[in-house]
Structure formats: structure tokens, C-alpha cells
Chain A
Amino acid sequence: MSNAIHLHYDVSGEDFTRAGEASGQVKKTLKKLGYDPDAIRRVAIAMYEAEINMVIHANGGYCDVDIYSDRVEVLLADHGPGIPDVEKAMQEGFSTAPDNVRTLGFGAGMGLPNIKKYTDDMRIETTLGVGTNLYLTVMVNS
């Protein structure tokens, strides 16, 4: 669609405290554009969890966001280790995050299940040793 608004963000893998900046920016933009608050929240939460994942597991990466009138599409891409067993990673409570991440309030194995819960479509392309692309779609018109 030609009338999409395209946004691009780099996600730093160095600094956990900055994880969520891209999601916050997208949230602000969607608010300005007047989208439904519930849909905005779903986009923000899904993207935030994915950003956290990128920082924890993949040393950062980038996000591409395309905002259409009826949906928001997000690609989160990293050059991390890849996900060995996607089905397992989708189970609530399954986590490979290091212990120090738990002390920061994450790493409970809720990331991918949460992302699935809040999006209308979620697709994972992952290759071991190459990286992971996570494609998310949230419909914004009820």
C-alpha cells in the first residue's frame, strides 16, 4: 500500500536500560495519528517484548514499522544465535535467558507468548547462527 508511514529504529544490544525506546516512539506516533488506544497498546506491548528479547538474546538489531490505515506491521530483525526450537520457545514459562535478566523483571518465558497474544499475526523466521526475523501484524480498526 502506498500510503504507509515507514519508521526505522536501531536497537542497541549494549544497554538494557534503553530497551523499549523504539516501542515508546512508535506508541507516541500512533497516538498522534489518532489510532484506537487499545490497538496502540497491543502494538506497543508486542514490540516492547520483542525489543527486550533482541537485547537479551541477540545483542540488538533493528525494527522496521509500517503504519497503514487498517494495520501496523513490524519487522524486528537481529543477527543473534537464532532460536533452536521455536515451538518450545512459544511455551509459557520456557526461557533460556540468563539469571541476571530475571533480576531485571524479564526472562520468565513470557515474551513470545505475550507477543502472540497481543498481535493478529506473528511469524518467526530463524536460522541458527544467522539470526531471527520476527514479523508482527496488529489490526487497528475494529
Chain B
Amino acid sequence: MVIRDILEILEGETICEGDLDQEIKTACGSDMMSDVLAFVKDQSVLLTGLVNPQVVRTAEMMDMACIVFVRGKIPDDSIIRLAESRGITLIKTRFRMFTACGLLYSNGLSGGTKV
């Protein structure tokens, strides 16, 4: 799956556009950034309801190429600028966390772990 597919499946809108053809292998849905830092694998997308710069910084540390903000949340300009400078794609979707994760999972994206 590439970022463009995620955009389509989640009927999302890009807030900040990086490389939409970048391949995504796993996903992580969390509002707790320490959990993201503990468990995430390579080439992941982060789904979150949290809107602050630390979401982008967490994605940066983990080499994540894309962040999806659920429930239509829109990050402010400072967050968008930070993502732009890191080449991270930001997407917003109207779906809630559970539904957004379920849609991606049922389209073949896994959590990257067996537990």
C-alpha cells in the first residue's frame, strides 16, 4: 500500500503533501506517543487524535512518512510547517480512530506485530 491508497481508503484530504507514492507496510493508531516510540516498525503510518508538534517529532524519530489525523482534526500552522520541513505527509479524515484503523486493516495493512 502507498500513501495515496491510504488517502483514498480514508476518504481523506492532504494537509501537507510529501511523497504520496511512498510504500507503507504497517500502521499504528495511538494518542500516546511513548507507545508509538516503543512498538512501531519500519515504514509505518501513524493514526492519531492528538494534535501537537510532538506527533510530528515522534514520526520523525521513527522514520514515519505519514500521519493521519482522525475525526477531522486539523493541526495548526506550526505543526504543518514542521511536517513540511521533514517531508512527512499529513492527512485528515472524518472517520474516528476505530473506524479509520479498521478500514486500513481490512484493506491489508497490518499492525506489524503478532500481538
When the two chains form the complex, which single residue of B38, B52, B61, B78 contacts A27, counting CB atoms closer than 8 Å? B61
Range class of the B interface residue count: 20 to 34
Q: Which residue of B lies closest to A40 (CB)?
A: B63
In the complex, chain A residues whose CB is within 8 Å of the CB of B63:
37, 41
The total of chain A residues at the interface (CB under 8 A) is 25
The answer, yes or no, to whether B7 is at the interface (CB within 8 Å) is: no
When the two chains form the complex, which single residue of A18, A20, A105, A110 contacts B61, counting CB atoms closer than 8 Å? A20
Q: Which residue of B lies closest to A41 (CB)?
A: B63
**Chain A interface main SS type:** helix
In the complex, chain B residues whose CB is within 8 Å of the CB of A44:
60-61
User: What total of A-B pairs shows CB separation below 8 Å?
Assistant: 68
CB–CB B62/A105 < 8 A? no
CB–CB B34/A48 < 8 A? no
CB–CB B60/A27 < 8 A? yes
CB–CB B35/A17 < 8 A? no
Q: Which residue of A lies closest to B34 (CB)?
A: A110
Q: Which residue of B lies closest to A111 (CB)?
A: B34
In the complex, chain A residues whose CB is within 8 Å of the CB of B52:
17, 104-105
CB–CB A105/B57 < 8 A? no
Report Cα–Cα, A114/B50, bound state, in Å.
20
CB–CB B35/A19 < 8 A? no
The answer, yes or no, to whether B101 is at the interface (CB within 8 Å) is: no
Known: A16-B54, A19-B57, A27-B60. A110 touches B31 (CB 8 A): no
Report Cα–Cα, A111/B39, bound state, in Å.
13
CB–CB B60/A49 < 8 A? no
CB–CB A17/B61 < 8 A? no
The answer, yes or no, to whether A24 is at the interface (CB within 8 Å) is: yes
The answer, yes or no, to whether B2 is at the interface (CB within 8 Å) is: no
Q: Which of B80-110 contact A (CB under 8 A)?
A: none
Q: How far is the CB of A40 from chain B (nearest CB, A)?
A: 9
Report Cα–Cα, A8/B42, bound state, in Å.
29
Binding site for A on B (CB under 8 A): 31-35, 37-38, 48, 50, 52-55, 57-58, 60-63, 78
* CB-based closest 9 A-B pairs: A110-B34, A20-B57, A105-B33, A44-B61, A17-B53, A48-B61, A108-B34, A105-B50, A45-B61
Binding site for B on A (CB under 8 A): 16-20, 23-24, 27, 37, 41, 44-45, 48-49, 52, 104-108, 110-111, 113-114, 117
